[in-house]
Structure 1
Amino acid sequence: MSACWANFVVLLLTVGTVNAGCPNGFIQHDDSCYLFFHSTRASWAEAMMYCQVFKSHLAVIESEREQNFIEGLLLREYHRGLPDGCWIDGTDALVEGEWVWTTTGKAISTEDYQKWFPGEPNSLGRSGEDCLDLLHHEKYSWNDERCEVMNNFLCETSATDDGINVG
């Protein structure tokens, strides 16, 4: 066996299993992968479509652990000039006051994890506020906002566990 071939075999045995995990550009946390679109502003509906192009959906926050991870991710990515809000998946557009995650259809109920800013949701204004965003200036607390506002947004997809065995 040549020295080159032997080095290749040692490399393969050292590498072991390579986990595919997340699509390129996404960051993994637990069983999900996230991509923050900090250079793109979109309405809530446009943000949903952007996420779909990347085979993902607007982020759904189901636990304090997930909220803490997302806060850290957004804090690292945030810089002057970005909008204060970041779109995530919740809406009450179908029935006022009944918030749901559009991806799952699951109600955002008082028994579930929530981090509404005090006094929110409040549906201010004539046109209402039917879409959920995270407010940078309020430590990424949840806020209801007009769906037409141009915000950055956070996409989420499932992490894959189909690693490539090479050893």
Structure 2
Amino acid sequence: MYVTAFSLSLPLIVATSLALNANVPATRFNKYVVINTPVTYFEAWRGCQYYGQQLASITTREENEILRELLSKPEYINHTYWIAGTDIGREGQWVWITSNEPVVLFTNWGHVGPDDSNIQDCMTVGQFADDRTLWDDVDCEKMFHFICERIPRKPVSRYH
């Protein structure tokens, strides 16, 4: 069964699952959700939003280790995944599309860094066999699976 979201067809995922339930606090065991549907970068961005999440931003070594655990599972070994990094706004100036924050505090580029090619403006993980958490810059129109991240919920005060 498929749900159409912003002209994007994604497999229907049970909304009450712990991984996609926005009311369940994020832990290291459910922080990231892999969506095994190949789409373009912007379809992945909108797909995560459809599920009440955001495309994953890996901003610390701790988050990278959680990602490493996830990508080491057998069902995720042979795929490349979109994450939230992009320099589509200004070539060579990488930001997380989900926050518009620069990618500077933690980086994990494969090889020596991004190629800074005019068509390689979106970030993936999973392409390097020696370390699947290394980042690569690729053409945003390529089709890859994607990783969503649970959006941290701010506590709601009943008093103003």
Give TM-score scaled by structure 1 length.
Answer: 0.70
Q: How many pairs are equivalent? A: 133
Q: Does 1:92 align with 2:87?
A: yes
Q: Choose from 121, 135, 144 the match for 1:130.
A: 121
Aligned residue in 1 for 2:33: 35
Does 2:135 correspond to 1:142? yes
> Does structure 1 residue 56 correspond to structure 2 residue 49?
no
Change in 2 beyond 3 A, CA 1:74/1:144: same
1:155 and 2:152 correspond: no
Q: Measure the CA separation in 2 of the matches of 1:23 and 1:157.
A: 14
Residue 103 of structure 1, aligned match among 77, 98, 107? 98
Stretches of structure 1 lacking an aligned partner (at least 5 in a row): 1-21, 163-167
Structure with the higher helix share, 1 or 2: 1
Query: Matches of 2:48 and 2:108 in 1, distance apart?
Result: 23
The answer to whether the Cα contact below 8 Å between 1:131 and 1:145 also exists between their aligned partners in 2 is yes
Q: Which of 60, 70, 83 lines up with 1:73 in the alignment?
A: 70
Question: Could you tell me how far 1:128 is from its partner in structure 2?
Answer: 1.7
1:9: which partner in 2? none
> Identity of paired residues, percent?
28
1:31-70 deviations in whole A, cap 9, x for unaligned?
97321012x1011001011101101110011111110111
Determine which structure has greater relative contact order: mean sequence separation of CA pairs < 8 Å that are 6+ residues apart, divided by chain length: 1
- Please report how far the alpha carbon of residue 147 of structure 1 lies from its aligned counterpart in structure 2 after TM superposition: 0.4
25 and 43 in structure 1: CA distance in 2 versus 1, 3 angstrom threshold: farther
What TM-score does the superposition give when structure 2 sets the normalisation length?
Answer: 0.73
Give the direction of change, closer, same or farther, for the CA distance of 1:159–1:106 in structure 2 (3 Å limit): closer
Runs in 1 of length 4+ with deviation above 4 angstroms? 159-162
- Structure 2 regions of 5+ residues with no counterpart? 1-14, 21-25, 156-160
Q: CA deviation at 1:158?
A: 2.8
Instruction: Kindly indicate whether the alpha-carbon contact (under 8 Å) linking 1:33 and 1:159 is maintained by their aligned counterparts in 2.
Output: no
For 2:62, what is the secondary structure of its paired residue?
A: helix
